[in-house]
Amino acid sequence: MEQVFFFYFAFVIAAASVLVVAVRNPIYSAVALLIMFFHVAGLYVTLHAEFLAAVQIIVYAGAILVLYLFVVMLLNLRQDDHYHRQWPMAAAVGLTLIIEAIILTAMKGWTTPVVVTGTETTVEGTGNTEAIGDVLYSTYLFPFEVASLILLVAMIGAIILAKKDPLEVNGEG
């Protein structure tokens, strides 16, 4: 049963990500990415990461993708987008990576399911959100604060970059 769900999610994720790259119209690309985000969230649920599934939908599908669609529609693009001249190089890099992945997989073989190590930090019985919150606000408190700083810097940077004629404003001020 778990495998059925996994193969469904995996197939849709792979197909949608190929569509993101292959489709000409940026809006269709963004919609394909939306489908992919929802299925990644589904995959997280099957992996017992319910909190991340919710965050994935709220942040990626709710905030990031809306921002993309907003910019795509703001810029009003023409439909003359062809593939890049360097597509032979892209094909070469892609093929090399595929071959490497196949060789590595063939060499190592398939892993055996679940080995339980002695260094567990999750307490069974408590919820996923509670476990994440426990670790996030104790062990990872400093990275958490740094993340908030990154968001602040990104917000200020985005506002300054998108403002009209930043050079002119600087020259006058």
Q: Which of residues 87-116 bind another protein (CB under 8 A)?
A: 87, 89-91, 93-94, 97-98, 101, 105, 110-114, 116
The amino acid at residue 32 is A
Question: Any contact of residue 117 with another protein (CB under 8 A)?
Answer: yes
Does residue 11 contact residue 89 with C-beta atoms inside 8 Å?
Answer: no
Tokens (6 digits) for 109:
């073989």
Compare residues 2 and 172 and give the one whose CB is closer to another protein. 2
Question: Any contact of residue 79 with another protein (CB under 8 A)?
Answer: no
Compare residues 158 and 172 and give the one whose CB is closer to another protein. 158
DSSP string, 74-112: HHT--S--PPPTTHHHHHHHHHHHHHHHHHHHHHH-PPP
Question: Any contact of residue 171 with another protein (CB under 8 A)?
Answer: no
Tokens (6 digits) for 146:
């740094």
Candidate list 10, 99, 103, 169; residue touching another protein; CB under 8 A? 10
Write down the number of H helices and E strands in the chain. 8, 0
For another protein (CB under 8 A), the number of binding residues is: 86
* Angstrom distance (rounded) from CA 56 to CA 53: 5
Q: By CB under 8 A, what part of segment 43-72 binds another protein?
A: 43-44, 46-49, 51-52, 55-56, 59-60, 63-64, 67-68, 71-72
Q: By CB under 8 A, what part of segment 123-162 binds another protein?
A: 128, 131-132, 135-136, 139-140, 143, 147, 150-151, 153-155, 157-159, 161-162
* Angstrom distance (rounded) from CA 78 to CA 1: 46
